[in-house]
Amino acid sequence: MRLFYIFQNTHIVTILRTKQAVKSALQILRNSQKTIGFVPTMGALHQGHLSLVENAKLSSDVVLVSIFVNPTQFNNKEDFEKYPITIEEDLLLLEKIGVDFIFLPSVEEMYPSPILLKMDFGDLDKTLEGTYRPGHFSGVGVVVSKLLNIVKPDKSYFGQKDLQQVAIIKQLVADLSIDVEIVVVPTIREADGLAMSSRNVRLNAEERLIATILYKCLVFAKDELLAGTDWFVIREKVTKRFHDEPEARLEYFELVQTESLEKLERIKGQTSVSICTAAYIGDVRLIDNLSIV
């Protein structure tokens, strides 16, 4: 086991590169009754990721962040190849915020042999993202299962921006009886409302301005729904708004039950409702969502 250290004042960040290194380092802490908070990431870190870390620090004795760009959840090879890799910057951010451990495995470490397992989450992964990214959530399920089994945290932290992924992971944890609490942290947004995302760095200056259309349409739709406007009328207006913007291409804009992701036509009688959307701005695909009730 090799441990690499980054020093900032008196704080030490330990970089772990193998499953065995994680097991050995964390077992000592578990024996001391320390609670472990875990934030899985694919790197290209931004303030949204750091808010997960801050939440983990508030309720855990020890915080571990993983950085692993998981190839099995990309159904588009070009998307995988264009995913931003910013390891040095990520390490500096995590050092500055004061995490205790960083798990930085290679693809060979995570997948020493070809994966044969496929995961099916029923209706949860047949809608929204599942329609446009077949196989994506199977890849997510496999890698999250691996990471949770390697780290064995008390709590693991995920952002609300990836609402469908949160629902999938909660189902995964329940179905496999994984002993971990899933903590969902609210979406962190830029000043103009754009949800923070690792993909935002791929937007040029013009596209960055156009990208606010996602949040603006979500807020418009929420206000109209609460005012009693018919959902299909709202969606038609949103679709036209995207159609009128040449650099934006809407994939979906749906009203759903937050936990089951069942598509809805109205909010009346529902206890938990969200609007979910995905769109291309130029060649960059972005997702977002907004809770209604």
159 assigned ligand-binding residue: yes
The encoded tokens of residue 96 equal: 């500055």
User: Which domains does the chain show, CATH number per domain?
Assistant: 3-185 (3.40.50.620), 198-291 (3.30.1300.10)
Please give the C-alpha separations between residue 284 and each of 84, 210, 217, 239, 278, in angstroms, as whole numbers: 12, 12, 18, 18, 11
Total Cβ atoms within 10 A of residue 129: 22
pLDDT in tens, 136-152: 999 999 999 999 999 99
130 assigned ligand-binding residue: no
Catalytic sites, residue numbers: 49
What is the pLDDT at residue 120?
Answer: 96
162 assigned ligand-binding residue: yes
What does the alpha-carbon distance between residue 281 and residue 215 come to, in Å, rounded to a whole number? Answer: 13
48 assigned ligand-binding residue: yes
Q: Residue 18 in 3-state DSSP?
A: coil
Q: Indicate whether 6 pLDDT > 50.
A: no
122 assigned ligand-binding residue: no
pLDDT in tens, 36-77: 999 999 999 999 999 999 999 999 999 999 999 999 999 888
CB 160 within 8 A of CB 185: yes
73 assigned ligand-binding residue: yes
189-200 average pLDDT score: 97
What does the alpha-carbon distance between residue 122 and residue 182 come to, in Å, rounded to a whole number? Answer: 20
Where do we find the tokens 């050995």?
24
Q: Indicate whether 9 pLDDT > 90.
A: no
199 assigned ligand-binding residue: yes
Q: What is the gyration radius of the CA atoms in the chain, in angstroms?
A: 20
Q: How many helices and strands in the chain, by DSSP H and E?
A: 11, 10
Q: What is the DSSP string of 75-138?
A: S-HHHHHHS---HHHHHHHHHHHT-SEEE---HHHH-SS--------GGGGSSTHHHHSTTHHH
CB 56 within 8 A of CB 137: no
CA-wise closest residue to 40 among 131, 173, 129: 173
What is the pLDDT at residue 78?
Answer: 87
